[in-house]
Chain A
Amino acid sequence: MEEAHLPEEYGPRWSDQRAERLLGALVCAVVVLLLALIVTVFWRAWPSFAHNGLAWFGAGGNVDDQINRIYLSGLGGEGFVYTFHAWQLLWSTFLITGGAVLLAFFSSLFVAVFLVEFAPEPMSNVLAPVVRFLASVPSVIYGLLGVLLVVPFIGNHLVTEPQRASVAGVISLSGYSLLAAVLILALMIAPLMTSIFSDGIRSVRPGWLEGSLALGVNRWRTTWKIAVRTARPAIVAGTVLATARAIGEAVMLAMVSGSVAFAPNPADGLIFIFEPSRPLAPTIVKNIDLLGSEPANNTLFAIAAVLLFSATMFSLAGWFARRSMRKYGATA
């Protein structure tokens, strides 16, 4: 190969010191970019938080009306209006994310155990690529299938006429609902959870499992009592990372959640799962045309700041949980 005489040629141009400095500068640039992002988002968001205080997170009034008033105040000259109470959005985010994570957690745990321990060779050869494929389907495709298949199914078959009539004055139950959002979001985050869970379970020391098996414990209980427990850091990490992903999901939820500022109330009975709502992230997508108005811009950035803070906290927590796997000798 001709590479043999290249070092002399590359020596002066690619001296070690210069390369290290260059790569160091690149790394610093990435770090600075992240800092700039955080500072910018919170700086743009500050007026909204400053005007509302903690009431920003509280209830009161309809969020859509408030956003509209904020937007209009940015066009006229009578001073900016900032009054914004995001409770409906926060509650919707909480319900949808919580429901999806709960659903995805249990199914992912079972599938991960199955994939690593119990699936026969041909089955796991199919299941592993299936999980990878489900993780890589773009969110608009999930959204499209949700809008054209899941939502009409819920609207036509699951919602009953008495239910529809009972809330007719408040909202319309058309199928765009909490249920559709939770189901599809769970499907979107389950592959991520499954792959992190199964990495964790796979990297448990075989000796520990063999010890348990040698004591006469059957494979099922060995798996749950030894493998799954040892892989707890990976399970925490997977759950937390998936939660971060779920909180930030915007486009799919904008399509299926119903996009109404409304807080479904579990106290109303089971009907609340058929009620539409809208979480934080889709609110930004839906109102993106309002960015030109200064107070609306600040309000949208305030929503983004809440998303940024919670998602970053979750993903850093997941990273720490994964690091603690290393003491078990795992690289997951």
Chain B
Amino acid sequence: MGAPVATPPMPPPSGGFPRKPSKGLPQSASTWHLSDRIGLTICWALGLLFCAIAVAIVAYLFVQGIKYLRPEMLFTPATAGFSQGQTGGFSDAFFGTLIVATMGIAIALPVGVGVAVWLVEYGRPAALARVTESTIEAIAGIPSIVLALFGTVIFSSAALGFLSRTSEGVVFGRSFFGASAMLSLVALPLVVASTREGLSAIPQHVREASYAVGKTKIATTRRILLPAARPQVATGAMLGLGRIIGDTAIIVVLLGATQNFAPVEGAAFPFNYLRGAGTTLTNFVYEASPTGNLNQPEKAYAAAFVLLLMVLALNAAVDVVHRRARKVGTWSS
């Protein structure tokens, strides 16, 4: 972030308007009509309700999580047993979430940044640009269960059999590869939108200055524009990560059916696990809830607590990036 272009001398207009001065006008609500005052009361009530619900969710899961979560649960795999005390932990689900998040974002980030760069900096046949924009919007709107079903068709095809378990010519189709590939589509629109926002907030004169000293377009993008848009890229990546971690439908369809890793025999180390079926925290919570197959609410609470901690950490990270970006002063904050 050390590039001097990242600190403009003056905050340039960012498309919006300055904060409204209307807030805090010396006008008190006591002069209003009754109906207006009732409306304002509803506003307050709903605002407080939102806060209360959020606090309730966090507090309840913290209490339940601390009551039921044991550190060893994160390191012992799930086993069969008769009571909740005998069924082990959910280490496979925990590491499954980490694997899926890493692989999913590893696909979504470069593709998303590439698409955003093309849209903002090139976008030359204008028709293709319009098609691409609506494609990204459409992908954002596709329910993840539909993506999951699409995944079963792709990854059960013989050509992609090397990505999952194959027995006697039948491709099993459920694997970390398949689930991560589909999950990356869930994150893609967020990465694209955020990166685009960052790139298009950079004023044109920055690009012109770079061309004037003889840099090519792609060099300008790589060396000037993307570094300046780094906070937005990071925000998009973290929002995408949050969606990947939280998605359940794709995991249930393309990865789940088990609460343990199911490595494929005869494959080299990382690939035997990645080609096999597995589970994630969301899948574990789903199966361990009273409506799932395991019905272990205590473990479901513990796993949900871990999941919530991850989400809270991601939210906090987004906040930190935003605040730091505002301090440094990028064009779009």
| A positions within 8 Å CB-CB of B | 1, 3, 6-7, 10-11, 14-16, 19-20, 23-24, 26-28, 30-31, 33-34, 37, 40-41, 44, 107, 110-111, 113-115, 117-119, 123, 126-127, 129-134, 136-141, 143-145, 147-149, 187, 190, 194, 202-203, 205-206, 209-210, 213, 218-222, 224, 241, 244, 247-251, 254-255, 259, 281, 284-285, 288, 291, 300-301, 304, 307-308, 311-312, 314-316, 318-319, 329-331
Contact = CB atoms under 8 A, between A and B. Distances in A.
Contacts of A131: 50
Contact of A136 (B142, B147, B242): B242
Given A31-B135, A41-B150, A144-B300, A255 B44 contact: no
Contacts of B246: 136-141
Contacts, number: 282
* 9 interchain residue pairs of minimum CB distance: A248-B143, A315-B141, A138-B246, A114-B43, A19-B218, A23-B118, A220-B36, A251-B248, A250-B145
Contact of A148 (B27, B43, B50, B297): B297
A15 B216 contact: yes
A27 B128 contact: yes
25 contacts: A7-B215, A10-B219, A14-B216, A14-B222, A26-B111, A30-B132, A40-B154, A107-B49, A117-B20, A127-B51, A130-B51, A132-B318, A137-B246, A137-B308, A140-B286, A147-B289, A219-B22, A219-B25, A222-B22, A248-B142, A291-B152, A308-B146, A311-B142, A312-B141, A319-B133
A19 B122 CA distance: 10
Contacts of A206: 17-18, 20-22
Interface in B99-156: 111, 114-115, 117-119, 122, 124, 128, 131-147, 149-150, 152-154
A288 B248 CA distance: 13
B145 A7 contact: no
Given A27-B118, A140-B282, A218 B27 contact: yes
B249 interface: yes
A247 B141 CA distance: 10
Contact of A107 (B46, B57, B248, B314): B46
B153 A40 contact: yes
B17 A138 contact: no
B252 interface: yes
B203 interface: no
Interface of B: 2, 15-18, 20-23, 25, 27, 29, 31-32, 36, 39-40, 42-44, 46-47, 49-51, 53-54, 57, 60-61, 111, 114-115, 117-119, 122, 124, 128, 131-147, 149-150, 152-154, 185, 188, 214-219, 222-223, 239, 242, 245-249, 252-253, 282, 285-286, 289-291, 297, 300-301, 304, 307-308, 311-312, 314-315, 318-319
Contacts of B44: 114, 118
Contacts of B308: 137, 141
B114 A23 contact: yes
A172 B266 CA distance: 50
B291 A141 contact: no
Contacts of B242: 136
Contact of B218 (A14, A110, A284): A14
A133 B218 CA distance: 37
Given A34-B139, A219-B25, A284-B145, 17 more contacts: A6-B223, A20-B118, A23-B115, A26-B118, A37-B142, A110-B46, A136-B311, A138-B307, A250-B145, A250-B249, A251-B252, A281-B145, A285-B145, A285-B253, A307-B143, A312-B141, A312-B142
B315 A129 contact: yes
A136 B239 CA distance: 8
Contacts of A254: 291
A199 to B, nearest CB: 9
B143 A315 contact: no
Given A136-B315, A140-B282, A218-B27, A259 B291 contact: yes
